[in-house]
Chains A and B, each alone.
Chain A
Amino acid sequence: MTTALTHLQRLEAESIHIFREVAAAFAKPVMLYSVGKDSSVLMHLAMKAFYPAKPPFPFLHVDTTWKFREMIAFRDQMAQKLGFDLLVHVNEDGVRDNINPFDHGSNTHTHVMKTVALRQALDKYGFDAAFGGARRDEEKSRAKERIFSFRNAQHVWDPKNQRPEMWKIFNTRIASGESIRVFPLSNWTELDIWQYILQEDIPIVPLYFAKERPVVERDGMLILRDDERMKLRPGEVVENRLVRFRTLGCYPLTGAIESDADTLGAIVGEMLTARTSERQGRLIDRDEAGSMEKKKREGYF
């Protein structure tokens, strides 16, 4: 007789179900592809959900122009390998105004180059559903969000008035201009993600693995100096250290950790003994209390 599904099989089935539901019920879905490990898992699940067909929607990368170079190379390589339709959007207004994390701080930079850019892209293409890789275990306001999360025509999330979400019966009805953000990984934990990457042998950006990299210690974080745009402050030195990243974003805002974990097994092993949560490596969540909720209400993923 059939044995019960394993924990990962259950999570996988739930995610695939969500992907198919969106493909069946929406006119113009898109997958937000942020190139990180969660995106890699999301992409893998999308390939599974529609096999033997390709995912019936494009993948959108909102490029802040400050991503690690290795992320961009990996992105283009994956698009070619899997043959999905990759759209890249940059907020040209922000580029023109030279918005950057060093002069404007993480808040303004993220708002202009990520949140506003995302809204621009969604409006430009008229997407009515957008997949994101957010997980409920990441952060307190995310723990509160529905799998199918409604956005009004201004892309605003109203956390106090979310639609009830019963069983696996999703309300996919929206009026023109409104949209739904969909989170197939809602019920996955960070450990599940790594376990699944290991089990399915899913490619991820090499930055997750330990390697000697040129880093600068700044504001209590180790920042990888990915290009010359990062000017050194007095007293700062670039050192080669054995580091890796637990989470990936804009390089000036993403702290590395010292680690010698250079295999998936070692990463998981390190995680099991970790005493800090993964978002700690991100400056944006520390800016102020409730900062993630605020960003999400404005349209951030």
Chain B
Amino acid sequence: MRHIMAKSLAPTDDVRDYLATQEKKSLLRFLTCGSVDDGKSTLIGRLLSDTKQIFEDQLAALERDSRKHGTTGDDIDFALLVDGLEAEREQGITIDVAYRFFATPKRKFIVADTPGHEQYTRNMATGASTADLAIVLIDARQGVLRQTRRHSIIASLLGIRHIVLAVNKIDLVGFDQAVFDRIVEDYGRFSRDLGFQTIVPIPMSARYGDNVTSRSDKTEWYSGPTLIEHLETVSVDEAAVELPFRFPVQYVNRPNLDFRGFAGTIASGSVAPGDEVVVAKSGKSSRVKRIVSYGGDLAQAAAGQAVTLVLDDEVEISRGNMLVSPAARPQVADQFAANIVWFDEHALLPGRSYILRTETDQASATVTDLKYRINVNDFAHEAAKSLEMNEVGICNISTRTPIAFDPFAENRTTGAFILIDRISNATVGAGMILHSLRRAENIHWQSLDVGKRVRADMKNQRPAVFWFTGLSGSGKSTIANLFEKKLFATGRHTYILDGDNVRHGLNRDLGFTDADRVENIRRVAEVARLMADAGLIVIVSFISPFSAERRMARELMADGEFVEVFVDTPFEECARRDPKGLYARALNGEIKNFTGVDSPYEAPEKPEIHLKTLGKSAEEMVDTLEHWLNERDIAEDQYDSGGGI
């Protein structure tokens, strides 16, 4: 009966031994690619079947499906094993990448079966991005086709260094060695400049299994390995652990004020407590104090491990930054050249603004220059004004804030990015960084009117006026000062306007009458406006208790530039803190017109940012502000849309 399972006789010791050998096996991730109908899915079905990965019930379902949708007559159509979507089975094509898992006594495999149709190239790229080896299938009757070349170029760009050239359907050309040799020669000539370390050509018939897992007796002229022999033994080690230490900070883990850990996956190198590390974007250095893990602290951690690092000092690091080796630092730049593979039906246009996303960082980005497009047939570099879907090109890219990276050729993890459309949020392209561009060498002088936009662009930022309002003692100045420090650390140009530096100079003629208070705010707002016009990020820290004055300030600024920040600390708490002893005096009647005591405070109804400070640290408030600013910079593209620098 079907539900009865063979009773297992394996004693536990055997199981443990088995698992121990399973654990020692290495993993190979590969993809199958090539043109439509070259037999990619059939090959994977064959591999799964011959390595006994297909269960009885799956085989029964496959036989049923083969009769219904199959394209192989009475034989089992193995492609139906991997073409898992209804649309795929109905149309007999592969639309999206499928991941399959199998193992032999020597190795474990994750295989990505990718589509051959040109319109689904992006799904092929998805499968290739995590693979170490590509099986490029060629129909022996067809030879090297356009899609064969496109897929080979994409595989090369994405860093794949090992190719199996599977000359498939060799049965349909009578197992003819001449056909095989000609295709191998064609492919070799074409791929000479693609930087592949190994290209292993194998004549095979995926449908009948020749040279897949067992040697064919019909290709005696072929003396190389079968496919599975090669997959089991090929060495693809990139040894990321030998590269300099790179730790992109993914998440700041702060369960309480006593613990601050930086969580992420080590991209390359290794780390141990006591090691010196540098914050890539600020250049600040610190030492690793602990490597925290659930099972206890670690003595060492290396590339590929997801860990949490605690540092000796309180250095400023947030998501998107990188902890790196002091001896070999990554590049930090806002302009660089990159290979781009374009995925979207809306073409890439120089000057248009996209969101650039690395593993943990994101920034507003513009393609400033499309240098050329690569013709997938002959590698010719062609001048182009745009990059259409499935095209590949080399571009210069400018980001609003600098990112930390290595050239992709040196580090596949820290050298890659994707581009996201601002409106649809679609992933529209993938990029591999070539090298940074030094500004001085690469800025093209144009005739530009010097204006607000240009001034801000030169500072590589967008102006803003953060208007802090809140009771005396609510924490405005503390938060404002810390915020400015943090902005400064990320290369922003800032200025703080507060009661102290304005009342002693510009406004020293003003007292505390209602008229003087309004004039006080008006002057401060005007100064903030001028500073924003100069391209600065201005932080205004004033009690500013009346909503009318704040509205007046808001109306002076350009749309989206005025950011009302309500520093919301309850009166009782402010009076308790009383840093300058003012509340005590006001409550004693020694000071008149004191906000909150005998003069009202009109809380903002719709502040852009509402900071509830009770029980939170100033640092957390600043994180909120910084996050808001980053989101705004990304969301708005009014400064980006009009062309490059």
Contact residue among A137, A166, A276, A294 (Cβ-Cβ distance under 8 Å from B430)? A166
Q: Are B3 and A257 in contact (CB under 8 A)?
A: yes
In the complex the two chains form, is A159's CB within 8 Å of B85's CB? yes
Residue in contact with B416 in the complex, picked from A169, A261, A272, CB distance below 8 Å: A169
Residue of A52, A195, A260 touching B19 (CB-CB under 8 A): A195
A234 an interface residue at 8 Å Cβ cutoff? no
Number of A-B residue pairs with CB-CB distance less than 8 Å in the complex they form: 229
Task: Mark interface residues in B327-367 (1 if CB within 8 Å of A CB, else 0).
Answer: 00000000000000001000000000001011110000000
Q: Which of A120-150 contact B (CB under 8 A)?
A: 136-137, 139-144, 146
Interface residues of A (CB under 8 A from B): 1-2, 4-10, 12-14, 16-17, 20-21, 23-24, 47-54, 136-137, 139-144, 146, 159-160, 162-169, 171, 173-175, 186-187, 189, 191, 195, 198, 220-222, 255-261, 263, 265-266, 268-270, 272-277, 280-281, 289-290, 293-294
In the bound complex, CA of A210 to CA of B202 (Å): 48
Cβ A167 vs Cβ B306 within 8 A = no
CB neighbors of A among B20-38 (8 A): 22-27
Q: B8 to A270, Cβ gap below 8 A?
A: yes
A276→B98 contact, CB < 8 A: no
**Partner pick for A9 among B81, B85, B305, B359, CB 8 A cutoff:** B305
Question: Which residues on B sit within 8 Å (CB–CB) of A54?
Answer: 255
Cross-chain contact A277 with B57 (CB below 8 angstroms): yes
Kindly provide the distance from the CB of A253 to the nearest chain B CB, expressed in whole angstroms: 14
In the assembled complex, how far is the CB of residue A239 from the closest CB belonging to chain B, in whole angstroms?
Answer: 13
Alpha-carbon separation in the docked complex, A168 to B303 (Å): 14
Residue of B at shortest CB range from A290?
B86
Say yes or no: B99 contacts A17, CB within 8 Å.
no
Q: How long is the Cα–Cα vector from A142 to B56 in the complex, in angstroms?
A: 19
Residue in B3, B343, B420 whose Cβ sees the most chain A Cβ within 10 Å: B3
B293 and A7 form a contact (CB under 8 A) = no
Which listed segment binds A: B211-219, B259-267, B378-386, B475-483? B259-267
Contact residues, B102-124 vs A (CB, 8 A): 108, 110, 122-123
Among A2, A6, A137, the most chain B Cβ lie within 10 Å of the Cβ of A2
Nearest to B305 among chain A residues (CB) is A13
Please name the 3 residue pairs, one residue from A and one from B, whose CB atoms are nearest each other, closest first.
A140-B84, A265-B12, A53-B255
Q: How many residues of B contact A (CB 8 A)?
A: 90
Does the CB pair B125–A259 fall under 8 Å? no
User: What are the residues of chain A within 8 A of B24 when measuring CB–CB?
Assistant: 6
Across the interface, do B418 and A166 meet the contact criterion of CB distance under 8 Å?
yes
Q: A164-B430, A175-B425, A289-B68 are in contact. List 20 more A-B contacts (CB 8 A).
A: A1-B241, A5-B302, A6-B24, A17-B264, A21-B360, A53-B253, A141-B85, A160-B85, A164-B125, A168-B359, A169-B416, A169-B418, A171-B425, A220-B1, A258-B4, A260-B7, A265-B12, A276-B55, A277-B55, A277-B57
For B29, give the chain A residue with the smallest CB separation: A187
Q: Given the complex of chains A and B, what is the CA–CA distance between A255 and B24 in angstroms?
A: 34
Among the listed B12, B25, B96, B110, which residue makes an inter-chain contact with A159, where contact means beta carbons less than 8 Å apart? B96
Cβ-defined partner of A275 (8 Å) among B7, B56, B300: B56
Contact between B264 and A166 (Cβ–Cβ < 8 Å)? Answer: no
Are the CB atoms of A144 and B425 closer together than 8 Å? no
The answer on a CB contact under 8 Å between B264 and A272 is no
B173 to chain A, nearest CB (A): 32
Kindly list chain B residues whose C-beta atoms are within 8 Å of the C-beta of A51. Answer: 292-294, 308
Complexed CA–CA distance, A194 and B254 (Å): 32
Bound-state Cα–Cα, A82 to B266, Å: 28
Partner of B250, one of A21, A173, A195, A263: A21
Minimal beta-carbon separation of B405 from chain A (angstroms):
12
> In the complex, what residues of A have CB within 8 A of residue B97's CB?
144
Q: Is the CB of A263 within 8 A of B12?
A: yes
Measured CB to CB, the nearest residue on chain A to B320 is A24
Please give, as numbers and ranges, the residues of chain B lying within 8 Å of A255 by CB-CB distance. Answer: 3
Closest B residue to A174 by CB, please name it: B425
A294 cross-chain contacts in B, Cβ below 8 A:
86
A137 to B300, CA, bound (A): 33
The answer to the question of B129 belonging to the interface, with a C-beta cut-off of 8 Å to chain A, is: yes
If the complex has contacts A53-B255, A175-B425, A272-B10, are A167 and B413 also in contact, measured as CB distance less than 8 A?
A: yes
Closest to A246 in B: B5
- Chain B residues contacting A12 (CB-CB under 8 Å) are 306
Most buried by A among B5, B25, B65: B5
Q: What are 27 A-to-B residue pairs whose CB atoms are below 8 Å?
A: A4-B26, A16-B265, A16-B306, A21-B251, A23-B251, A50-B263, A51-B292, A137-B100, A140-B98, A160-B95, A163-B427, A166-B125, A166-B126, A166-B416, A167-B416, A169-B358, A169-B418, A259-B7, A265-B16, A266-B10, A269-B8, A269-B12, A269-B14, A272-B10, A272-B18, A276-B56, A294-B86
Let me know if B84 and A20 touch, CB within 8 A: no
Q: Are A52 and B27 in contact (CB under 8 A)?
A: no
Residues of B within 8 A of A50 (CB): 253, 263
Q: Separation in Å of the B408 CB from the closest CB of chain A?
A: 10
**CA gap between A222 and B3 in the complex, in Å:** 8
CB-defined contacts of A198 to chain B, threshold 8 Å: 19
B99, B343, B430, most chain A CB atoms within 10 A: B99
Question: A276 and B57 in contact (CB under 8 A), knowing A164-B430, A174-B425?
Answer: yes
Residue of B nearest to A48 (CB): B294
Is B412 an interface residue, CB under 8 A from the partner? yes
Q: Which residues of A contact B425 (CB under 8 A)?
A: 171, 173-175
Q: Is the CB of B19 within 8 A of A270?
A: no
Cα-based distance from A263 to B24 in the complex (angstroms): 23
Complex CA–CA separation, A261 to B416 (angstroms): 47
Determine if B58 is an interface residue (Cβ-Cβ < 8 Å): yes
**In the complex, B589 has a CB within 8 A of chain A:** no
In the complex, the chain B residue whose C-beta lies closest to that of A162 is: B96
Mark interface residues in B469-501 (1 if CB within 8 Å of A CB, else 0). 000000000000000000000000000000000
Chain A residue with minimal CB distance to B99?
A136
Is B208 among interface residues, defined by CB-CB distance under 8 A?
A: no
B5 touches A169 (CB 8 A): no
Partner of B417, one of A7, A49, A169, A269: A169
Nearest B residue (CB) for A280: B57
A20 lies within 8 A of B305 (CB): no
In the docked arrangement, what's the CA distance between A220 and B358, Å?
A: 52
When chains A and B are docked, how far (Å) is the Cα of A255 from the Cα of B1? Answer: 13
Give the complex CA separation of A8 and B20 in angstroms: 11
Instruction: Report A-chain residues with C-beta under 8 Å of the C-beta of B1.
Output: 220
Q: Determine which of A17, A144, A270, A277 lies in contact with B96 in the assembled complex, contact meaning CB atoms within 8 Å.
A: A144
Query: Is B527 in the interface zone, CB < 8 Å from A?
Result: no
Determine if B130 is an interface residue (Cβ-Cβ < 8 Å): yes
